[in-house]
Amino acid sequence: MRQSELEALLKDMSLQEKADQLLQLNGTFYTGELDEIATGPIMEMGLKSEDICQAGSILGTYGAERLKEIQKKYMEKQPHHIPMLFMMDVIHGMKTIFPMPLAMGAAFDPSVAYTAAEIAAKEASVSGLHVTFSPMADLVRDARWGRVMESTGEDAYMNSLYTAAQVKGFQGDSGNLREKYKVASCVKHFAAYGGAEAGRDYNTVELSEQTLREYYLRSYQAGIDAGVALVMTSFNTVNGVPASVNTWLMREVLRKEMGFEGVLISDYAAIEETICHGVSEDKADAAEKALKAGVDIDMMTSCYSGHLAGLIRGGKLEEGILDEAVMRVLQLKNKLGLFENPYKDADPEEEKRWILCEEHRKAARDAACKTFVLLKNERDSDGTALLPLKKGKKTAFIGPYVENQELLSSWAVTGSKEDCVTIRNAAEAVLGEEAVFACGCPIFGNDMEIPSFNGNIRCDVSEAERKGMLEDALKKASEAEQVVLCLGEHSAQSGEAASRTMLDIPEIQMELFREIYRVNQNIVVVLFSGRPLDLREISRKARTVLEVWFPGTEGGNAILDVLTGVQSPSGKLPMSFPYCIAQEPLHYDHYNTGRPNPNGRVEKFRSRYLDAPNEPLYPFGYGLTYTEFSLSEVRLDREQMEADGMITASVIMKNEGTVFGTETAQMYIRDLTASVVRPVRQLKGIQKVSLMPGESRTVSFEITREQLQFMASDGKEVLESGRFAVYIGTDSTTENCAEFVLI
Ligand code: BGC
């Protein structure tokens, strides 16, 4: 449709019809006949059956046949036959599930996330979907927050690269949403959802404007610059005002300053929740505030549908403000080509062809291999380490994750655990007789109960069964030469509404670990987690630790690829792993303070803890490989840079070991003196370098003003002359550094 046709359409719509274009309901409203629904969910929400027929969009339901049927049925009922939008959380895969987003961050390679998004878009679009609520661009610094697993980590620069890559992956490089196999992407949760106080989900966010702009807003901006079609509001308050009714945040910052012109959707029920926040009197008041703030779609409440028409009739709202929001929704439908083809790519035949096809599974497996982080791989006196596993050695695979298919992580609602390849499946195929298996214990004991999307999860193993499991595991561990111990959090221990105050592995598994350690100390821990954990004991006792996060559908195969050395680990930590929980929130790009405490000095009147180091156990950017790389000193091609000039910083990297490997060269910059305090260092460049044994390569980074600018105290980007330090290394603690002056 041309814009003039959209305008004519809008003009012809009734007030209620317009309000309903802004209503988003979930699929349960469209499961049966209207009469049945009218007595159930509609009544509970205070909606009329007419609103159901006119709703602009549906969330959380998929399948080509089903969505085609809904589209056909409800377009007939809609007075102007306007097609619906179908939206869903397709976060890290549709049916072929890739590693969880934090793991993708560990690849330190946005192209991996691009491919995952492209494949997810293909599977989603043939399943009838038009919009995905992804990527989550929230910066995270507190491992207690369960949703760190949905982020790509603690660094604003990396998150920006990943956000842009995912938006492009979903929407295509051209951004033409009519293209086949593309879906519209939605950057969320605007803004600063990851800054929840004390890591408790949905909690208050208090940030200085400088911190908000300099750290938290950057990745959303990257999504907008990449052409994202939608943005989602966050549940939290931002400096006292809930984001979903925060006019300054949405109209001034998001629309005017950041240049977002697409559809702004509330998070689930977030408009109505402003009543609970204590800033809206009732639903009508919430609707008025949210629309005034510029929120276009009301997800899953009747605030807009039930009240906007009345507010306009009563003179509390201008009709123009409603028209503005409805036009944006119509424009999105038009960009997707739905007025001409309401079913877009929905096609049952294509679903069969693409969903979980070999090509997609292979991409998921390759991606997973790149996300694993080798935290420790101790060598013995003759220089050999446990990984990669050596042929001909008997290996006992022990632990609750050996046969567990729950490898998808919490936000993978379209995936099925039944499609997952377990460690045992893969190990049997690769190692045959050399491998034996035992569960050892359940993931958690009878002392715990974990709420999940599908009800509460409990452990139903009796004491006698547990004893039997342990005995079997101990027997197999003592007869084997080495043990691969597959441990970790339950997948429902991270994700939405899954904040924790302890970053531990369930005690029942730690007991198993200690028991196994008594009989066999050649332990490789394969660690599953949705967040950084406190690994003090594990990392002290186990000879090898491999973090595999929640690796997705092809998890088992990927783990075996890396354990056996078919692929070498190359992941890097996208979040600091704390020494202990009390260090949280924790991030490498902190300020120095006036009394820093370098090298853990024991001295009074320093900024330090009495009982723990300031440093994390494993820092941001850290991760080992099966080989060793050396780096030369940092070389700068000049010592001074002009404001519009450029400096090239380089190092020579060499593979000093005997096997092929991939390292990540990381460039950090520190502004040594500025008008506001600058972080001790900030990541400004990454490059993956793959080298054969003995091979070396020069790795160069270009430094321009973009990497040196920062947010001054008045909220404006500035470039200030002075000294800068450039670090190039393989994690965020590198001291390999050179200095230059910006004149
Ligand atoms: C989450 C969003 C999600 C939405 C729709 C909310 O609870 O915060 O991230 O997109 O539900 O499923």
Question: What is the CA(189)–ligand 1 centre distance, in A?
Answer: 9
Question: What is the CA(267)–ligand 1 centre distance, in A?
Answer: 6
Cβ atoms 35, 311 nearer than 8 A = no
- β-strands 640-641, 737-742 pairing: parallel
Cβ atoms 234, 193 nearer than 8 A = yes
For ligand 1, say whether the CB of 365 is within 6 Å of any of its atoms: no
Candidates 483, 522, 472, 491; CA nearest to 420 is: 491
For ligand 1, say whether the CB of 150 is within 6 Å of any of its atoms: no
Q: Would the pTM count as exceeding 0.95?
A: yes
Query: Whose alpha carbon is nearest atom 12 of ligand 1?
Result: 89
Question: What is the CA(411)–ligand 1 centre distance, in A?
Answer: 9
Which residue among 271, 452, 496 is best mutated to probe the pocket of ligand 1, counting the most ligand atoms within 8 A of its Cβ?
496
Candidates 382, 608, 407; CA nearest to 489 is: 407
For ligand 1, say whether the CB of 273 is within 6 Å of any of its atoms: no
Ligand 1: atom nearest CA of 235 is 8
CA distance 614 to 617: 9
DSSP annotation of 538 reads H
Question: What is the CA(299)–ligand 1 centre distance, in A?
Answer: 9
Candidates 666, 562, 671, 677; CA nearest to 620 is: 666
Cβ atoms 262, 228 nearer than 8 A = yes
pLDDT the model gives residue 44: 81
Cβ atoms 59, 26 nearer than 8 A = yes
pLDDT the model gives residue 714: 82
For ligand 1, say whether the CB of 267 is within 6 Å of any of its atoms: yes
Which residue among 89, 265, 414, 452 is best mutated to probe the pocket of ligand 1, counting the most ligand atoms within 8 A of its Cβ?
89
For ligand 1, say whether the CB of 288 is within 6 Å of any of its atoms: no
Spell out the residues 6+ positions from residue 632 whose beta carbon is closer than 8 angstroms to its own.
651, 652, 653
Question: What is the CA(369)–ligand 1 centre distance, in A?
Answer: 28
Which residue among 87, 138, 267, 452 is best mutated to probe the pocket of ligand 1, counting the most ligand atoms within 8 A of its Cβ?
267
- β-strands 395-398, 373-377 pairing: unpaired
For ligand 1, say whether the CB of 138 is within 6 Å of any of its atoms: no
Spell out the residues 6+ positions from residue 33 whose beta carbon is closer than 8 angstroms to its own.
none
Spell out the residues 6+ positions from residue 658 whose beta carbon is closer than 8 angstroms to its own.
627, 693
pLDDT the model gives residue 39: 65
For ligand 1, say whether the CB of 89 is within 6 Å of any of its atoms: yes
- State phi, psi for 317 to the nearest 5 degrees: -130, 145
For ligand 1, say whether the CB of 193 is within 6 Å of any of its atoms: no
The two tokens of residue 465 are 């069964």
Candidates 578, 603, 607; CA nearest to 592 is: 607
DSSP annotation of 297 reads B
Consecutive sets of 10 residues in the chain, 743 residues long: mean pLDDT of each? Answer: 98 98 94 68 84 95 97 96 98 98 98 98 98 98 98 98 98 98 98 98 96 96 98 97 98 98 98 98 98 98 98 98 98 98 98 98 98 97 94 96 96 95 98 97 93 89 95 98 98 97 97 98 98 98 98 98 98 98 98 91 92 97 98 98 97 97 98 96 98 98 97 88 98 98 97
CA distance 61 to 27: 5
Residue 706's CB is within 10 A of a number of other CB atoms, namely 10
Q: Which sign does the torsion angle of CA 80, 121, 185, 454 carry?
A: positive
CA distance 401 to 697: 39
The two tokens of residue 232 are 């989602």
SS3 assignment, position 516 = helix
Query: Whose alpha carbon is nearest atom 5 of ligand 1?
Result: 268
- State phi, psi for 584 to the nearest 5 degrees: -70, 145
Between the alpha carbon of residue 16 and those of residues 23, 34, 326, the distances in Å are 11, 19, 11
Cβ atoms 673, 721 nearer than 8 A = no
Burial of 263 (0-12, 13-18, 19+ CB in 10 A): buried
Q: Which residues pair with 26 in a beta bridge?
A: 59
Q: Which sign does the torsion angle of CA 655, 658, 660, 664 carry?
A: negative
CA distance 209 to 339: 42
Could you confirm whether 347 is annotated as catalytic? no
For ligand 1, say whether the CB of 109 is within 6 Å of any of its atoms: no
SS3 assignment, position 356 = coil
Q: Which of 51, 109, 142, 267 is catalytic?
A: 267
